[in-house]
Structure 1
Amino acid sequence: MLVLLPPSETKSPDGDGAPLDLAALGSPELTPVRETLVDALVGLAADPPAARAALGLSPGQDAEIGRNAALRTSPTTPAVQRYTGVLYDALDVRSMTRAQRARADRRLAVGSALFGLARATDPIPAYRLSAGAQLPGLPTLRTLWRPALGGLLAGTGELVVDLRSGGYQALAPVPGAVTVDVLSQRPDGSRTVVSHANKAHKGRVARLLATTTAEPDGVVRVRALLRRAGLHVEHDGGTALTLVLPPP
């Protein structure tokens, strides 16, 4: 099972690993696109106004441009520890037992605008690039990533649970992947999409899937696993699951 996580704009500044070595990352077929994007971000960092415009940053976020300038020289840390925020707080890999972490390292990967697919243990630096960015002189990220990344994800040979947000799913959709939508039920029975809580609950779902000793092979088994954990999960057919949060 491969559990695809969304990245986060916020990233830990920590790291004591060697500088970025693209050849050391998993999925070497993605290296050419990774090289193109790393070169583009490093070059763009030399022009802060252009970098702000391309990356959607304000002058107060110039430290993010500095991170991109140092992509090839700054220290790295495993991808699953690089990303921070609500989802990753709920995933909480640091609290996992050794056996749980070993399973999580095998199953988790992050859909990244810069690296395409970053496996949990891939050593990466802090960076700034979102799925909606448009880098000067290059095609859209969707155009760059879809041929190589789409083929990679379609050919994994294992169940894919895609928890990425829409912008990252669009970079390379995965046919047949299990998806999870999170809805909140109001006291009157109506339902609404949640935002902040969506990330937290997807983090909990990711933790359950990453650490279970079971090996679900389809949407029905995933649904059963989540229900056993006490979650209200609905399945109306196909590969989409709906996680329904009770009224507050």
Structure 2
Amino acid sequence: MLILLPPSESKTGRSRGRTLDLERLSLPGLTAARAALLGPVAETSARPDAASLLGVSPNLTEEISRNTRLTTAPSVPVAELYTGVLYDALDLASLDPAARRRANRRILVISALFGALRLTDRVPPYRLSMAVNVPGVGPLAGHWRQPLALELPEQVGRGVVIDCRSSTYAAAWVPQGDLARRWVQIRVPGATHMAKHTRGLVTRALCVADADPRSVAGLADLLGQDFRVELHEPASATKPWVLDVHPPQA
């Protein structure tokens, strides 16, 4: 299986450590597209109107300035980089060794700056949304569409694609053909404030489980052991299955 997660706006930094090395990141087919963004993002972030261009509050001066130090700042393992509601619920640090190995294999974080990252990759903290139109590059979802379409299908294998991305990040890669029939969007009905938390719990459950479902129905059965779920067929051949996962009762 392949679990697609969004990044978080909040990120953890470090005061020391080795700097970014694009050649050491997973998914080497994305290296050229990654390299093409570093300079334009740094230049955009150094402009007086950077906050407006990046779509963030002008008060976030330190987070914006991180984008100007992408090649010199200490890098952080992705497993520690992203924080926030989803990642708190996932709680990678508390997984046992077997579940952590499955998490390393199964999870991909879709990133506006790096395309897609494994938990073991090391990158610097940054502030960039997939919704941004970077001067000299254009809309980031469009920048990543072809590289991700070439690189991600082989990461799926024979299992299912479990999509926990927001719509902004989902625009960067849409599974096609046979993969589309194994593509499942995790939806949390009637609980917007609990959606990220529940998706984090779902991701954790899929890493704890030794099973690797080869079908959408098998995934629903697996998650049905821990959650109340409802599976809905795709609205069309280009749309995903939708698995409603109800938040656990408090």
Distance in 2 between residues matched to 1:29 and 1:246, nearest whole Å: 39
Map of 1:182-193 to 2, 5 A cutoff?
Answer: 182-184=188-190
Q: Aligned to 1:59, what secondary structure does the other structure show?
A: coil
Distance in 2 between residues matched to 1:204 and 1:182, nearest whole Å: 12
Q: Pick from 198, 202, 209: which aligns with 2:199?
A: 202
Check conservation: 1:17, 1:123, Cα contact below 8 A.
no
Distance in 2 between residues matched to 1:79 and 1:17, nearest whole Å: 14
Once superposed, which parts of structure 1, at least 4 consecutive aligned residues long, lie more than 6 Å away? none
Quick one: structure 1 residues 74 and 174, their matched pair in 2 at CA, closer, same or farther if it must change by over 3 Å? Answer: same
Q: CA deviation at 1:15?
A: 6.7
Structure 1: 5+ residue runs without aligned partners?
Answer: 185-193
Distance in 1 between residues matched to 2:118 and 2:71, nearest whole Å: 19
Map of 1:45-56 to 2, 5 A cutoff?
Answer: 45-47=45-47, 49-56=48-55
Identical-residue share of aligned pairs (%): 41
Map of 1:142-221 to 2, 5 A cutoff?
Answer: 142-156=141-155, 157-158=157-158, 159-175=160-176, 176=180, 177-184=183-190, 194-221=191-218
Per-residue CA deviation, residues 169-217 of structure 1 (Å, 9 max, x unaligned), is 0011123211111113xxxxxxxxx222000000000111122111111
Distance in 2 between residues matched to 1:18 and 1:133, nearest whole Å: 28
Give the TM-score normalised by structure 2. 0.89
Per-residue CA deviation, residues 71-128 of structure 1 (Å, 9 max, x unaligned), is 1111112112211100000000011111211111111110111111011111111001
Distance in 2 between residues matched to 1:148 and 1:204, nearest whole Å: 30
Check conservation: 1:76, 1:124, Cα contact below 8 A.
yes
Distance in 2 between residues matched to 1:105 and 1:17, nearest whole Å: 21
Q: Could you tell me which residue of structure 1 aligns to residue 104 of structure 2?
A: 105
Distance in 1 between residues matched to 2:84 and 2:92, nearest whole Å: 13
Q: Could you tell me which residue of structure 2 aligns to residue 243 of structure 1?
A: 245
Distance in 1 between residues matched to 2:246 and 2:15, nearest whole Å: 37
Check conservation: 2:198, 2:247, Cα contact below 8 A.
no
Q: Could you tell me which residue of structure 2 aligns to residue 222 of structure 1?
A: 219
Distance in 1 between residues matched to 2:192 and 2:72, nearest whole Å: 35
Quick one: structure 1 residues 173 and 42, their matched pair in 2 at CA, closer, same or farther if it must change by over 3 Å? Answer: same
Q: Aligned to 2:246, what secondary structure does the other structure show?
A: strand
Q: Aligned to 1:32, what secondary structure does the other structure show?
A: helix
Amino acid at match of 1:243: V
Q: Could you tell me which residue of structure 1 aligns to residue 6 of structure 2?
A: 6
Map of 1:76-87 to 2, 5 A cutoff?
Answer: 76-87=75-86
Q: CA deviation at 1:16?
A: 5.0
Give the TM-score normalised by structure 1. 0.90
Distance in 1 between residues matched to 2:249 and 2:7, nearest whole Å: 28
Q: Could you tell me which residue of structure 2 aligns to residue 89 of structure 1?
A: 88
Distance in 2 between residues matched to 1:123 and 1:247, nearest whole Å: 36
Check conservation: 1:52, 1:59, Cα contact below 8 A.
yes
